[in-house]
Amino acid sequence: MTQPRIFQFGDAALVCEAPAPATLACQRRVWAAAAAASDWPHVLEVVPGMNNLTIVFDPLEADSAALASQLQAAWEAGGDAPAAGREVEIPVQYGGEFGPDLQVVASHTGLSAEEVVQRHTAGEYVVFFLGFQPGFAYMGGLEEALHTPRRASPRLEVPAGSVGIGGEQTGVYPATSPGGWQLIGRTAAPLFDPTRTPPTLLQPGDRVRFTVAGIDA
């Protein structure tokens, strides 16, 4: 495993960044280091990114040099054993009014709409990290045959629960927002609910399977 670069960002954050490319093995180290760091005193936030980890600390209480050494040690100790991610099923109503771009993905990939759905539900996706919106998961694992470019002009309003494909990624929009992904379906699963603990359906390290709640091809 290549050594990461650990550096301070601003006066209240430290970043631990592994060299590209991002791999699942490397991301497991990110999660392991994140789990360790969340217990350290004066550490306020531990935020995994793609191939990197940022910790936000109390700049008056914490010793950033000591934290950097701890981070280095946690990275080395982390190993790349599978993290204890949960398996989460997300039922999706594919196509029709809920998946207005299913045909677009079908014609781009040269597959039938049914085949797109079959392949999308066959995959196991890993949550690398969350960002963009509360509960929005950046997932790896979309098979290459389904890669489809984003829409030329983003929609101003993508409904909450929309399941989409954007380039090499697939994901679910937790809240209504503008968005440029190709929408192939929609789920009623609550991706983000601030009244629940934890508030998000998905967490870093989780493995996701999409299931067919219905299909309108």
Partner 1 sequence: MIDVIRAGLLTTVQDLGRHGYRHLGVAMGGALDRLSLEVGNRLVGNRPDAAGLEVTFGPTVLRFPRATRIAITGTEFGATLDGKPVYSWWSLPVQAGQELTLQAARRGMRGYVTVAGGIDVLPMLGSRSTDLAGQFGGLGGRALRDGDRLPVGAPSARAGRGFSPQAPEFGVKAPAWCKFVLVHEPLRRGRHPSGVPWAVPIRVLQGPEYEQFPAAAQEAFWSDEWLVTPNSNRMGYRLAGTELKRTRNTDLLSHAVVPGTIQVPPNGQPIVLLSDAQTTGGYPKIGAVIQADLWKLAQVRLNSAIRFIPTTPQEARQALVEERTYLRQIDAAIAMHEERCARQPAVAAL
Q: Which residues bind partner 1 (CB under 8 A)?
A: 7-13, 15, 17, 20, 22, 34, 44-52, 54, 56, 59-60, 64, 129-136, 138, 175, 192, 194-195, 198-200, 203-204
Task: Kindly report the length of the chain.
Answer: 217
Q: Which is nearer to partner 1, 148 or 169 (CB)?
A: 169
Burial class (CB in 10 A: 0-12, 13-18, 19+), 29: buried
Q: Which is nearer to partner 1, 75 or 136 (CB)?
A: 136
Rounded to whole angstroms, the Cα distance separating 107 from 110 reads 5
Q: Which is nearer to partner 1, 72 or 203 (CB)?
A: 203
Which among 107, 96, 86 is positioned nearest to 212, based on CA atoms? Answer: 96
CB contact at 8 A, 208 and 90 = yes
Rounded to whole angstroms, the Cα distance separating 45 from 132 reads 17
Other CB atoms within 10 A of residue 199 CB: 14
Q: Which is nearer to partner 1, 44 or 77 (CB)?
A: 44
For residue 115, the minimal CB distance to partner 1 (Å) is 30
For residue 196, the minimal CB distance to partner 1 (Å) is 10
The H or E element containing residue 116 is: helix 113-122
For residue 116, the minimal CB distance to partner 1 (Å) is 26
For residue 175, the minimal CB distance to partner 1 (Å) is 7
Rounded to whole angstroms, the Cα distance separating 110 from 162 reads 23
For residue 133, the minimal CB distance to partner 1 (Å) is 6
Q: Which is nearer to partner 1, 167 or 214 (CB)?
A: 167
For residue 2, the minimal CB distance to partner 1 (Å) is 14
What is the distance between the terminal CA atoms of the chain, rounded to a whole angstrom? 45
Q: Which is nearer to partner 1, 62 or 105 (CB)?
A: 62
